[in-house]
Amino acid sequence: MQEIQEEKNNRRPRDTAFKQQRLPAWQPILTPRWVVATFFVLGVIFLPIGASLLVASNKVVELTVRYDNNPDCKLGLDDPKYGTECAVTLKITEDIELPVFVYYQLDNFYQNHRRYVKSRSDAQLRGEDPDSLSACEPLEKEGGKTLYPCGLIAHSFFSDLIIAGITPNGQSTEISLVNPDFNFTYADNILSWKKQGISWKSDRDAKFKLSESISNEADTFTTPFLDKFTRIGPEQARINKFLGLNNGSVDESLKIKIPLPTDEDFIVWMRTAGLPTFKKLYRKIEALPSAVDRSKLISGDEITFHIKNYFRVEEFDGKKSIVLSTTSWVGGKNSFLGIAYLVVGSICLFLSVAFLIKHTVSPRKLGDMRYFNWNSNEQRSRQAQ
């Protein structure tokens, strides 16, 4: 009985090959031949990949024009005039095959800030009615009403309106067109670009759906121009001022409507960027106007972007730009990955050659007992004699 009790209290694992770590194992021995061969193979693999990535990136055409520094596009700090209209022109410097992608780029905007990233309700965006919107702090409600959508990310939505026209190289255009979102008439061919498909399909299908309590766009709330107050910090007084909480009223000119969660511009914005300088897809140009009888942009064409300016960047020393870009089989223009592969491949080849030379000039016998150093210096010198 005592033996049974002692066996029960014994915490020693069972005497099996697995629990006593007696399973057969293979442990490679890094001989000079294996090390040299491994580095050489890695170099041979990495260098062609890096060259291919770099060539593909260099084939991407990317043109950028900044517009927040345009005098007509500025939003003043003391007396902001939201909805100012301005235009910037981008000249095409080389032939570009369609499709062409239009991005907006923001500089010095930290979408990766911890409080900013957390300020959203994924359940609300999926169309559910969550019990608590505490995750959206500090923008859960306004005037006792639940904000839909809530959170800092949604309420810093990039709201500039952009349309574009093309002036073909060496041609004059007489087409006039009035857009209801703008106050002026265009004297150039308006580009008919696509908004459909600019967001990820997985986001559209699973992550962004309408709430059952929201039947149409008229049911959404208008929100003040806090949407443009993007700096995160202890400035609640200024946030309240933008919300109109100081006097209980909000200037209608300081209000815009946040898009529904199913809007693709909104979906693109909600996928936060990891770096302070980023660009997000705005539209796709898949065909030119019928008056421009060709299927590509040619050197000398001018693209004029007409902008209705809402998004403030002056307060955080930011910049706003429009980027016109093509793509390749690796995506947009990004030479970092190709350079990284080339650098790693070059280092591997260099190390393989260096180890080969060292092993050839002064080879070392595998398992040479002279290199064991538990003996004293005196004993080692005696053995050497």
- Quickly tell me which residue has 């302070």 as its tokens: 276
- Quickly tell me which residue has 């004297």 as its tokens: 187
- Determine the pLDDT at residue 175: 45
CA angle 133, 138, 139 (to 5 degrees): 65
Which one, of 180, 182, 204, lies nearest residue 263 by Cα? 204
Which one, of 107, 108, 110, lies nearest residue 274 by Cα? 110
- Determine the pLDDT at residue 384: 60
Burial class (CB in 10 A: 0-12, 13-18, 19+), 34: exposed
- Determine the pLDDT at residue 346: 95
Residue-wise DSSP of 143-189: TTEEPSS-STTGGG----EEEEEEE-TT------EE-TTSSSEE-SE
* Both structure tokens of 82: 């939201």
- Determine the pLDDT at residue 227: 33
Give yes or no for a contact between 301 and 167, defined as CB atoms under 8 angstroms apart: yes
Domain ranges of the chain: 29-60+330-366, 63-326
Give yes or no for a contact between 302 and 86, defined as CB atoms under 8 angstroms apart: no
* Both structure tokens of 291: 């008056």
Q: Residue-wise over 320-359: b if at least 16 C-beta within 10 A, else e?
A: bbbbbbbbbebebbeeebbeebbebbeebbebbeebbeee
Give yes or no for a contact between 147 and 223, defined as CB atoms under 8 angstroms apart: yes
Give yes or no for a contact between 106 and 319, defined as CB atoms under 8 angstroms apart: yes
Cis, bond preceding 28 (omega within 30 deg of 0): no
Longest dimension (CA), the chain: 107
- Quickly tell me which residue has 């994924």 as its tokens: 122
* Both structure tokens of 384: 């050497």
Give yes or no for a contact between 155 and 242, defined as CB atoms under 8 angstroms apart: no
Judge if pTM exceeds 0.75. Answer: no
Tens of pLDDT along the chain (385 residues) come to: 555 555 556 778 888 888 888 888 888 788 888 899 999 999 999 999 999 999 999 888 899 999 988 887 776 555 556 667 888 889 988 888 888 999 999 999 999 999 899 989 888 888 887 777 788 888 777 666 677 788 888 888 888 888 888 888 756 554 445 555 565 555 557 777 888 889 999 989 889 988 766 554 444 444 433 333 222 222 333 444 444 444 444 444 445 667 778 889 999 999 999 899 999 999 998 888 877 777 888 888 888 888 888 788 887 888 999 999 998 888 888 889 999 999 999 999 999 999 999 888 888 777 766 666 655 555 556 656 5
- Determine the pLDDT at residue 145: 66
CA atoms of 62 and 326, how far apart (whole Å): 7
